[in-house]
Structure 1
């Protein structure tokens, strides 16, 4: 149980760091270097179980080393006991590493891109791994802000209307989920009004670029968030 909690904390920490990247941005070189180093240490950690004296001393594994070791640890030991070659384990680690490194590109993705589902999956995982209600609400509202930026990006390109429709819908769903949770966790929180003001500024400039159905959807959303910012 303790190991599972530690792996959850490591995953959450990395997803948090990735989620803080600006839309369309890339990770800092220092982060990529640290990730590469930890992936290498993860391969070694998966190949060699922790020594008893290290476990007794409570020395932590590297962040991703611990994660990869946790993914492969138990099965890796059973495979070695059956004589499976170490090469197959390292190949699996390499596959996981490649997937994690490629996920950087998802933070440039917008609806319609092949990597966009991976971006949304990482975002959803980050929300679900957060146990604190106020923090989870904040992540939901961050998702709503991301959807607003994506709508603006889509409107500036030649895309099909359904992508805009779906993104507007996702924006509203994330907003309502986040506001509902935040109102339970922190009644009358000033964060609600700030979010409403920020979203109004983000969505209002889009109205002239929307078709009739999208305009009705966006205006309904604006009406909802304007109610949140109204004086009590």
Structure 2
């Protein structure tokens, strides 16, 4: 840069010298050759200086661009890095929702399958355990009695379903016994908690309509069980007016 400045100063000195010459004539050949040489030297020096400056500027610009490009990857700019983290979070949230929905669907299907289970099905013990737990957890005598009667109605439906499918005597006999046990427990508790409760008569009438069609499909001990149960609940039905 100093060399270029000195060259420019010499050129200005030559121009000043030229301004002092008469207007009608031109410079002598010696001065002309010296001026041409000085101008050529100054031009080459200026070109090299300009090239050097342009090279340094290009390197500085490239370094800044590289810094800006690398900055989001290093996590120093939250504004640019945020979308990169937001997408995995959305995916994890969506996966969590799908998993929760899947678990809820499985639980719903399991509950339906358990509710529809009949004696002999793999889920039937779970169904009976659930009913027994609901009865034991009832602190109110009326509620507990009503749940016992609901269990008796459920056993009656199961007997009807067994007779329509397999008709296996062992399962039918056991279900009939459980039906009678739930009926007696519920009626006894309800009579003690609510004497002359109309719920007993309504239950007995419903059960009679369920059990009567079963009599002709049963034989042996199961037939006797159903007949004895039918006599018992008929005594609970209020006389018609």
TM tier, smaller: 0.5 to 0.7
1:134 corresponds to: 142
Residues 1:199 and 2:218 aligned together? no
Select the residue among 171, 184, 194 that pairs with 2:192. 184
How far apart, in 1, do the equivalents of 2:138 and 2:186 lie? 13
Select the residue among 181, 187, 191 that pairs with 1:173. 181
1:49 corresponds to: none
1:85 corresponds to: none
How far apart, in 1, do the equivalents of 2:157 and 2:178 lie? 12
Q: CA deviation at 1:228?
A: 1.1
Q: CA deviation at 1:211?
A: 1.0
How far apart, in 2, do the equivalents of 1:228 and 1:101 lie? 38
How far apart, in 2, do the equivalents of 1:112 and 1:159 lie? 12
Residues 1:216 and 2:224 aligned together? yes
TM-score, normalised to structure 1, is 0.56
Structure scoring higher RCO (CA < 8 A, sep ≥ 6) equals 1
For structure 1, list consecutive stretches of 5 or more residues without a partner in the other structure.
1-35, 42-93
Larger radius of gyration: 2
How far apart, in 1, do the equivalents of 2:167 and 2:199 lie? 33
Q: CA deviation at 1:154?
A: 0.2
How far apart, in 2, do the equivalents of 1:132 and 1:145 lie? 20
Q: CA deviation at 1:159?
A: 4.0
Residues 1:145 and 2:153 aligned together? yes
Spell out the pairing of 1:26-65 with structure 2 (5 A cutoff). 40=100
Residues 1:114 and 2:122 aligned together? yes
For structure 2, list consecutive stretches of 5 or more residues without a partner in the other structure.
1-95
How far apart, in 1, do the equivalents of 2:137 and 2:106 lie? 23
Q: Number of aligned pairs?
A: 143
1:103–1:118 Cα contact (<8 Å) kept = no
Q: CA deviation at 1:105?
A: 1.4
SS in 2 for 1:177: helix
